Structure 1
Amino acid sequence: MRVLLTGGTGYIGKHVVSILQNRGVPTLILGKKPLDHMPSNFQFAECDLLRSSSFDVIQQFKPTHLIHLAWFAKHGEFWTSVENTQWVTSTIDLVEQFAASGGQHLTVSGTCAEYSWDETVCEENVTSICPSTIYGKAKNLTHECLQLLCDSKGLSLAWARVFFPFGGAGEHPNRLFPSLVSALRAGKSIEVNGCLQRDFLHVEDMAAALAHLSLGSKKGVFNMASGETLSIKQFGDLVATHLGKSPDLVVDNRAGAFGQPMIISACVQQLKSTGWSPAMSVIERLATFLSKD
């Protein structure tokens, strides 16, 4: 087994790198910049995936498995950026060259934004696909194109719909969890859209699930989530409690939730049926991480 990895320096990708390193899997990372510390079983090839039309290095490396996580992910902008459309074509180009080099299996990150957010539990083969954002539409189009491509070339595909990762190294400071921790540690109040309910999964567990799908050559569509739905107020209160702060510092600003889906929750039976389960629950993850404070 030889893995081709994109997005290896990103938030989730960094944690996938750690798993592949620990497993000793020969890995080639494609990207604009190398890792700060390159593991001995890793190679790096500088590449702008949106500009490259030829990936000779893939032919030379001859990967059997592809984990494709690279995408436009700038905080606060990725939902509506037209750059999402460029990633559709670049992903197809990448997979075509992966297939031409003898590739067998690909794991690609999708998004919960592909689903219709109608406040029902998102289930892979039940919930309607009706994305309302450019990001969700681009990911869904990518999935449809890749499935056709894989079927025609005899590749297997694990399409991983990412929900709401949190914690761990590399999380953007303006995301919910770091914002809560920063404010509460300083004894400051913080407003949240507390009535909204989301399915959170610790980034280390999400990375482990992605690696599990890839290294096990799993096939199908999988929700990358915990199956635990918490309101954002509940999540914030847990953070406050584990930091020894008053939950009253987490202020529920319901007006800020206007226009957003009230509930985005996931069924994870399909993922668990592959033999994977998170190392800890969301509540246990919060307690473990914040107890180090």
Structure 2
Amino acid sequence: MRVLIPGITGQLGRMVATRLLEEGHEVIGIDRRPWPAAPAGIEMHNVDLQKRAAEDVFRKSRPQAVIHMATVTHLVEQTEERYRINLGGTRVVFDNSRACGVEHVIFVGRHTYYGAGPESPLYHTEEDPPMAVSTFPELADLVAADLYACTALWRAPELCTTVLRMCYTLGPTGHGTLASFLRGPRVPYVLGFDPLFQFMHEQDVVTAICLALEKRIRGVYNVSGPQPVPLSLIIRAAGRVAVPLPEFVLRNAFGRFGLPKLPRAALTHIKYPVVVDGAAFRAATGFKHAIDEAQAIREYRDAHPVPASRP
């Protein structure tokens, strides 16, 4: 199958592309960033997704499937450019896919779409509305991109559209929001709160995306792996020091004293869990995670040991 991957040079994009190539697929990548060490056999195009050159890639390569991974979080892009990349880029992907006869489009989203709050259900199903817009404004563009992808289910019935809401990723590459949060020697959490965090090993994330392509499922699916784990336990298992702080102190301490740099709205995701029910995806694809939560943390810890303390 001829598969086009916008956002191919991200850590997950590279892993998905390599897996698909090993499985015998023809892989084409679009990204503004280069991938000098791309495996032989992957056709790379260093272009902006929203420029005419990207449209030409769609038209000339005529992919049968598109795996859209060209979205960014507030950790990567903190300006208005993030809105252009996430929402504008998603619209372009679907417009070009329809114009060029693509059969299957997979939008790789995030489970943080649902948001966190004291009244949120413990396990979110695919029917739950997004609360992240009101609790975490920096996620608004990702929520909008997810919703736009969902509209393709009725706007473009000729497309097989798959929207995947993936839980956090953790593994040796150190990719993702949770991995970034755990990076330093001291990791804070709100005194009196210890929410469950749901994550998957990055290899299992790649497997889930490839299964969605293979099974050609249509619809919206939460994707999860092992059981969720309390934040304090994750911190200690990763070899870090857990630092419980009153909320008003932590709100003003982000980015200082060696603590992670996060927007203040991120406090809701440190206080309350965002946990999804992945039963529908497992039923549709037969997906089973291969790596449990303990091994995922251990591989992250071994690849990213605690930085040496300064005198």
| Interval of TM-score (by shorter of Structure 1 and Structure 2) | 0.7 to 0.9
Verify: 1:260 aligned to 2:259, yes or no: no
Residue 38 of structure 1 corresponds to 38
**Structure-2 change in CA distance of 1:144 and 1:175 (3 Å):** closer
Could you tell me the percent identity over the aligned residues? 16
Q: Please point out which of 178, 185, 189 is paired with 1:193.
A: 189
Q: Please tell me the residue identity of whatever aligns with 1:85.
A: Y
In structure 2, the gaps of 5 or more residues are 252-263, 306-311
Residue deviations 1:244-263, cap 9 Å, x none?
xxx7x433335338942421
Select which of 259, 283, 288 maps to 1:277: 288
Return structure 1 stretches of 4+ with deviation > 4 angstroms.
288-293
CA contact (8 A) 1:82 1:134 kept: no
Aligned equivalent of 2:183, options 178, 186, 199? 178
Length-normalised TM-score, structure 2: 0.77
Deviation at 1:199, TM superposition (A): 0.7
Counterparts in 2 of 1:54 and 1:41: CA distance versus 1, 3 Å: closer
Distance 1:288 1:252, change over 3 A: same
CA deviations over 1:62-97 (Å, ceiling 9, x no partner): 11110001123352655xx43343231232122211
Change in 2 beyond 3 A, CA 1:76/1:102: closer
Aligned partner of 2:257 in structure 1 is none
Mapped to 2, the partners of 1:123 and 1:74 lie a distance apart of 23
Q: Is the 8 A contact 1:192 1:232 kept in 2?
A: no
Is the Cα–Cα contact under 8 Å of residues 198 and 275 in structure 2 kept in the other structure? Answer: yes
Q: Is the 8 A contact 1:171 1:178 kept in 2?
A: no
CA separation of 1:7 and 1:76: change in aligned 2, threshold 3 A = closer
Q: State yes or no: 1:143 paired with 2:146.
A: yes
Instruction: Name the SS of the counterpart of 2:198 in structure 1.
Output: strand
Number of residue pairs matched? 275
**Partners in 2 of 1:89 and 1:191 — Cα distance?**
34
Secondary structure in structure 2 of the residue aligned to 1:151 = helix
Match of 1:91 in 2: 90
State the distance in 2 between where 1:76 and 1:8 align.
16
Structure 1 regions of 5+ residues with no counterpart? 184-189, 241-246
Distance in 2, Cα, partners of 1:238 & 1:270? 30
Number of the residue aligned with 2:80: 82
| Residues 22-55 of structure 1 deviation map (CA, whole Å, 9 limit, x = unaligned) | 2121011001133232223310112112444761
> TM-score w.r.t. structure 1 length?
0.82
Distance (whole Å) between structure 1 residues aligned to residue 75 and residue 16 of structure 2: 20
Q: Is the 8 A contact 1:192 1:233 kept in 2?
A: no
2:130 corresponds to which letter in structure 1? Answer: I
State the match for 1:224 in structure 2.
223
The residue aligned with 1:186 is none
